[in-house]
Structure 1
Amino acid sequence: MTSPKSLLATAIIASLVAIGPLSTDMYLPAFPVLMQSFNADINQVQHTLSIFLIGFALAQLIYGPLSDRFGRKPVLMGGLLLFLLSSVAIVFAESIATLSTLRLFQAIGGSAGPVLGRAMVRDIHGPKDSARLLSYISTAMAVAPAAAPILGGYLTVWFGWQSIFLFLAAYGVVGVMLLGMSIPETAPPGSHHIISVSNLIKNYTTLLKHRTWRWYTLSCSFVFAGLFSFLSGSSFVIIDFLGYKEEQYGLFFALVVAGFMIGTLIAGRLVRSIGINRLMGYGSLVAVTGGVTMAALAIAEVHHVAAIVVPQMIYMMGVGIVMPQSMAGALAPFPHMAGTASAFLGFIQMSFAAVIGVLVGHYHDGSPLSMALSIALMGILTLVSFLRLSRASSDEDDDDNEIGQTETV
């Protein structure tokens, strides 16, 4: 087995966390093709993405407590097996309804990667270093979603949309092999408590009553919902409205992900010197700048791909700064139920994103307007949540401030 703190172990955990963005980003260029293949409308195709997030969110509520009881590794292995089997089954889907149902099962399996990957980082590196490691892991795993739409576009053109899900199945196979051979159990000794409904309710109530946990979670959820607004609407805007090809969409998406990578690199370098909260404040301002700029250009009817890609790059820099810090801040006070805390955060995050995705699809009129307004609103709500977090942090006990939670902009 590999040492949990080794570079190889960190890379494997990053690859498992990347299952989420891979499963959403890789098939985005195939949305117009799916409409034609299944004779479906935009809402039906977008539903395959929203139902994935719903399954992703709900499953995390199960995986977190299960991993706190039985350990991270066996629960993660079971999720990966379900992910790869459902990915293979999707290849044989004959209707958009079947595709949506199988995407639900794919999400239930795939959600084990991100929720337990975050918990494993907290197990291995503790509260102080987990924010820095999550930032660097986010940087590394951003390579996958940056390349995913490009690869997905070419796979769709060359082999059809089914090849995307065969690739995801193969990714799951590799994940199972690496996890089984290289990663030891990371859950702390003495954390395997018996699962009961009363204990789960008690744990979730404890989290909801924790003021800084609430605002860290909402900051993370709002900024991610803005990203998901782009995921839900960008392929229709760039491919259908602006007339670019599927493989070109992937290149534009890679530019957007580059903004995310820049944000995570900045966060990884600065978090120790300026603290989590101050960094989140700067990230929130960056996200607001990008979202409001895109909305203003859409309202002014500036219909050019740069009016979408450049503001979204700026917004994604904010996402890259805010998300790793908010996740680390939310998990820091709960070492003995990091799985549950990570799961509940993920549930709220994905639920917000699913609702926003449905709304973007419902109000989509062919133009970038509904997508841009949604991104701007999520950026503003991220900033509001940060301001409330700063106020809540000042009232917390010293034990909750050990990673710099009292620092503000």
Structure 2
Amino acid sequence: MLKKGTLALTAVLATLQAVGPISTDTYLPSLPSIALQLDAPIPTVQLTLSAFLVGFAVAQIVYGPFSDRYGRKPVLVIALALFAAATFACVLATSIEVLISARFLQALGAAGPVVLSRSIVRDLYEGRRAGTELSRMGTIMGIMPAIAPTFGGFLDAWFGWRSTFVAVLVLGGVIMALVLFALPETLRERTGEPLTIRTFFSGFGPVIADPGYRVYVAIVCFTYAGIFSFVSASSFVFQNIYGVSPIVFGMIFGLCAASYVCGTLLGQRLLKRLGVGQALGVGCSFLALGGLSMIGGLLVGLDVPAAIFIPAMIYMMGVGQTLPLAMAAALMPFAKRAGAASSLLGFIQMVFAALVGAAIGLLLGDSAWPLALFLAACGCAAAATFAVTRSIRATGAEW
């Protein structure tokens, strides 16, 4: 079994955290192909992304309380089994309606590894160590989404869009083996009360009542909504508007993922030198700068791919700094309810991102402006939330 504090355990937790992004990033270059082969309009194909986020949100609210009661590992195995079955359904889908439904079910399974990997970190680590661990996981996790779109672009070009889901299915099998044979149970004290509808929902009360938790969840929501704005719109912007190939798009997306990895590394250094408050402030500044620079490029007439992906790289640099630290800060006060706190965070985050994704899908046309406006709005909202909540954050524990 893997030991606490080892790089191997961090790598396995990062892989669990990456299940959700890989489920989406691998098939992103195939969205135009899916629209063509399944004879579906772009807004309908966009629903394969939004349906995934809705399922992701719904499932996250469940996994945490169940894992607080029954343990992390058994709940994780059930989630991965559902993920594998739904991914196989994606491979076999013959209509856009079936693919949307299968993606929803895939998300129900993918949510488990993401929620429970955060809960496991809170089980094992405290304070800055938890923030550092989540940042390290982000560094390793970022490598997979950096590779996934490029890999998916090649698979789509050589074998068609179904092959991208076959690759995700194989990865799911590898992760299941790691969980079964290498991951220890980390829950130290299970909740003693029976899990009923009343106790299920009442468990979220002390979590949402914490003002610091609400602040950090808001920062996470705005930050992640910006990511999803880019994820949901980028393949159409780059391929349909700027005419790049699926392989080139995969490379562009990989550059943005690499910027995210750089952001996690910078975040670790800033956390050690400045503490969580100032480190978060730097990350939020990158978010706002990335979104505003994309608008600035379009305003001055830079209607080229670089005017989109360079600002997106700046934004992703901020994401790498902001997300791990804000998540760790949100979970820190809840040692005995880490699962519930992680579930609620993920639920709110994904519902908000799904609404943003649906909105940008409706506005997409022959211009990159919807992407730029949404990215800037999300980045500035995260920065503004950080700026106006100093007194609330100051009442929490500084680490």
TM-score range, shorter chain: over 0.9
Structure 1 position 190, deviation (Å):
4.3
Structure 1 position 192, deviation (Å):
5.0
Match of 2:331 in 1: 331
User: In structure 1, what residue type is equivalent to 2:268?
Assistant: G
Match of 2:5 in 1: 5
Helix, strand or coil at the partner of 1:223: helix
User: In structure 2, what residue type is equivalent to 1:163?
Assistant: S
User: In structure 1, what residue type is equivalent to 2:51?
Assistant: I
Helix, strand or coil at the partner of 1:154: helix
Helix, strand or coil at the partner of 1:194: coil
User: In structure 2, what residue type is equivalent to 1:251?
Assistant: M
Deviations 1:115-138 (Å, cap 9, x if unpaired)?
100110111112331100100110
Match of 1:260 in 2: 260
Helix, strand or coil at the partner of 1:335: coil
Deviations 1:298-349 (Å, cap 9, x if unpaired)?
2444211110111011011111111000000000000101011001001111
Q: Between the two proteins, what is the percent identity of the paired residues?
A: 38
Alignment CA distance shift 1:161-1:192 (3 Å): farther
- Output the CA distance in 2 between the equivalents of 1:85 and 1:245: 31
CA contact (8 A) 2:266 2:321 kept: yes
- Output the CA distance in 1 between the equivalents of 2:272 and 2:213: 20
Match of 2:124 in 1: 124
- Output the CA distance in 2 between the equivalents of 1:364 and 1:391: 39
- Output the CA distance in 2 between the equivalents of 1:61 and 1:68: 12
Structure 1 position 24, deviation (Å):
1.2
CA contact (8 A) 2:10 2:136 kept: no
CA contact (8 A) 1:127 1:331 kept: no
Structure 1 position 270, deviation (Å):
2.1
Residues 74-89 of structure 1 mapped to structure 2, 5 A cutoff: 74-89=74-89
User: In structure 2, what residue type is equivalent to 1:354?
Assistant: A
Match of 1:30 in 2: 30
- Output the CA distance in 2 between the equivalents of 1:369 and 1:236: 13
- Output the CA distance in 1 between the equivalents of 2:99 and 2:73: 29
Residues 143-154 of structure 1 mapped to structure 2, 5 A cutoff: 143-154=143-154
Match of 1:316 in 2: 316
Residues 13-52 of structure 1 mapped to structure 2, 5 A cutoff: 13-52=13-52
CA contact (8 A) 1:242 1:304 kept: yes
- Output the CA distance in 1 between the equivalents of 2:321 and 2:114: 18
Match of 1:382 in 2: 382
Helix, strand or coil at the partner of 2:189: coil
Helix, strand or coil at the partner of 2:304: coil
- Output the CA distance in 2 between the equivalents of 1:349 and 1:107: 14
Whether 1:136 and 2:141 are equivalent positions in the alignment is no
Give the alignment's Cα RMSD to 1 decimal.
Answer: 1.2
Moved more, 373-382 or 359-368: 359-368
Structure 1 position 200, deviation (Å):
2.8
Deviations 1:146-179 (Å, cap 9, x if unpaired)?
0000000000011111111111111111111111
Deviations 1:12-37 (Å, cap 9, x if unpaired)?
11111100110111111001100101
Match of 1:407 in 2: none
Q: TM-score w.r.t. structure 1 length?
A: 0.95
Task: Point out where structure 1 has 5 or more consecutive residues left out of the alignment.
Answer: 405-409
Helix, strand or coil at the partner of 1:18: helix
Alignment CA distance shift 1:261-1:164 (3 Å): same
CA contact (8 A) 2:63 2:343 kept: yes
Structure 1 position 4, deviation (Å):
3.1
Structure 1 position 243, deviation (Å):
0.5
- Output the CA distance in 2 between the equivalents of 1:9 and 1:174: 15
Match of 2:240 in 1: 240
Match of 1:275 in 2: 275
Moved more, 298-307 or 222-231: 298-307
Match of 2:113 in 1: 113
- Output the CA distance in 2 between the equivalents of 1:144 and 1:393: 33
Task: Point out where structure 2 has 5 or more consecutive residues left out of the alignment.
Answer: none
Residues 164-183 of structure 1 mapped to structure 2, 5 A cutoff: 164-183=164-183
User: In structure 2, what residue type is equivalent to 1:181?
Assistant: F
Q: TM-score w.r.t. structure 2 length?
A: 0.98
Whether 1:211 and 2:224 are equivalent positions in the alignment is no
The alignment covers a number of residue pairs equal to 399
Match of 1:303 in 2: 303
Structure 1 position 247, deviation (Å):
0.3
Structure 1 position 203, deviation (Å):
2.4
- Output the CA distance in 1 between the equivalents of 2:170 and 2:219: 34
User: In structure 2, what residue type is equivalent to 1:215?
Assistant: V
- Output the CA distance in 2 between the equivalents of 1:128 and 1:255: 28
Whether 1:372 and 2:363 are equivalent positions in the alignment is no
Match of 1:66 in 2: 66
Helix, strand or coil at the partner of 1:111: helix
Structure 1 position 193, deviation (Å):
4.2
- Output the CA distance in 1 between the equivalents of 2:9 and 2:258: 24
CA contact (8 A) 1:71 1:192 kept: no
Structure 1 position 110, deviation (Å):
0.6
User: In structure 2, what residue type is equivalent to 1:168?
Assistant: V
User: In structure 2, what residue type is equivalent to 1:51?
Assistant: A
Residues 88-99 of structure 1 mapped to structure 2, 5 A cutoff: 88-99=88-99
- Output the CA distance in 1 between the equivalents of 2:281 and 2:191: 34
